[in-house]
């Protein structure tokens, strides 16, 4: 049987998320239905799961997978539209909200999806193919400065200026159309021992930019906290420091009961804490999981409970 994606921190995710087997849950990153299946298996006949994915292939696969399952409703939408989905389903509040960020192994391994520098494909990197701008548009039309900033900000790549400069020189001669076109440019100006790291960072930067991943995550977290029942859980799995920082800082901010400037004589901010953090430190996969599923190595799970 083809394994499209192995769910990461599967047991821990469910342990933190599912507190009521009759509850209503939201999985914002359906993918190939790994975590969604686990949630469904933890629910009674009265429980309900709403799952969504922007990726059409993942959505179609999971639609078939769950075609006989009455306790799940699937959407091919962005998780930042959780409020719209809740309205459509007439759900006032969720018992638990989950997201397993990033891309699936299927997206990385399928050459045509163009998500990995390891496979040659059109330079696209959009999860949602209806988005207007793809990675080739960015690489071929953005200014050198904007390109450098994207590579630095979203890839945390120190050589961003040099990479952007060379991209702009090459594209004057020939359009950069494929993942191979871009990786050849990068490997030519990077010492061999840094090839993998630099390629990963540049592709990550373009992917985050094209899909507006960080803003989408911020919006999703804010709306999710609005839409959680008291004692409901928010469980997020992230795979790189930029995402994890947003989750960590949002959770922290939502625990505060005052945001008045330091030294204010009295508190007049009216800040109300909305979350209690459950994972003081992020939960990470153990050695066995990393051995079995190398892609789990960078995963960090954070969970919080609505007050």
- Under 8 Å between Cβ of 283 and 300: yes
DSSP assigned state of 184: H
Assess 207 for contact with ligand SAM (CB under 6 A).
no
Rounded Cα gap, residues 229 and 70, in angstroms? 23
Rounded Cα gap, residues 35 and 6, in angstroms? 9
Binding mask 83-122 for ligand SAM (x = CB under 6 A): -----------------x-xxx------------------
Rounded Cα gap, residues 154 and 180, in angstroms? 21
Q: From the list 12, 26, 34, 94, which residue makes contact with ligand SAM (rule: CB under 6 A)?
A: 34
We find the least distance from the C-beta atom of residue 288 to ligand SAM, in angstroms, to be 18
Q: Which is nearer to ligand SAM, 177 or 200 (CB)?
A: 200
Assess 33 for contact with ligand SAM (CB under 6 A).
yes
Q: Which stretch binds ligand SAM (CB under 6 A): 52-60, 117-125, 198-206, 224-232?
A: 52-60
- Under 8 Å between Cβ of 36 and 65: no
Q: Which is nearer to ligand SAM, 229 or 295 (CB)?
A: 295
Assess 285 for contact with ligand SAM (CB under 6 A).
no
- Under 8 Å between Cβ of 266 and 212: no
Q: Which is nearer to ligand SAM, 54 or 147 (CB)?
A: 54
* Crossing angle of the two packed helices 195-210 and 213-226, in degrees rounded to 10: 60
Assess 35 for contact with ligand SAM (CB under 6 A).
yes
Q: Which is nearer to ligand SAM, 5 or 302 (CB)?
A: 5
As given in the structure block, the two tokens for residue 283 are: 């939960």
How far are the Cα atoms of 126, 201, 206 from residue 133, in angstroms, in the given order?
8, 20, 11
Q: Which is nearer to ligand SAM, 12 or 176 (CB)?
A: 12
C-beta neighbour count of 211 within 10 angstroms: 21
Q: Give me the residues that bind ligand SAM (CB under 6 A), please.
A: 5, 7, 28-29, 31-35, 52-55, 58, 78-80, 100, 102-104, 127, 216
């Amino acid at each position: 049987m083809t394994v499209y994606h192995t769910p990461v921190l599967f047991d821990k995710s469910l342990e933190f998320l599912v507190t009521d087997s009759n509850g209503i849950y939201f999985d914002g990153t359906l993918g190939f239905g790994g975590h969604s299946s686990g949630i469904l298996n933890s629910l009674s006949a009265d429980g309900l799961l709403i799952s969504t994915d922007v990726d059409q292939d993942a959505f179609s696969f999971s639609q078939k997978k769950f075609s006989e399952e009455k306790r799940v409703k699937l959407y091919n939408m962005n998780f930042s539209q959780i409020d719209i989905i809740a309205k459509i389903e007439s759900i006032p509040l969720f018992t638990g909200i989950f997201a397993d960020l990033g891309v699936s192994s299927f997206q990385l391994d399928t050459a045509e999806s163009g998500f990995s520098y390891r496979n040659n494909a059109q330079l696209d990197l959009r999860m949602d193919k209806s988005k207007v701008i793809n990675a080739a548009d960015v690489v071929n039309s953005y200014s050198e400065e904007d390109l450098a900033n994207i590579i630095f900000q979203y890839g945390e790549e120190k050589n961003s200026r040099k990479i952007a400069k060379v991209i702009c020189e090459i594209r004057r001669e020939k359009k950069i159309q494929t993942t191979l076109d871009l990786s050849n440019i990068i490997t030519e100006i990077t010492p061999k021992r840094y090839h993998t790291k630099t390629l990963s960072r540049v592709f990550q930067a373009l992917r985050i930019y094209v899909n507006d991943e960080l803003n989408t995550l911020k919006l999703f977290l804010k709306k999710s906290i609005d839409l959680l029942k008291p004692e409901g859980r928010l469980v997020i799995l992230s795979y790189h420091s930029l995402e994890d920082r947003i989750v960590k800082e949002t959770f922290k901010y939502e625990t505060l009961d005052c945001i008045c400037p330091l030294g204010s004589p009295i508190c007049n901010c009216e800040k109300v804490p909305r979350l209690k953090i459950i994972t003081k430190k992020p939960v990470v996969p153990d050695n066995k999981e990393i051995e079995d599923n190398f892609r789990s190595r960078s995963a960090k799970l954070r969970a919080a409970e609505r007050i």
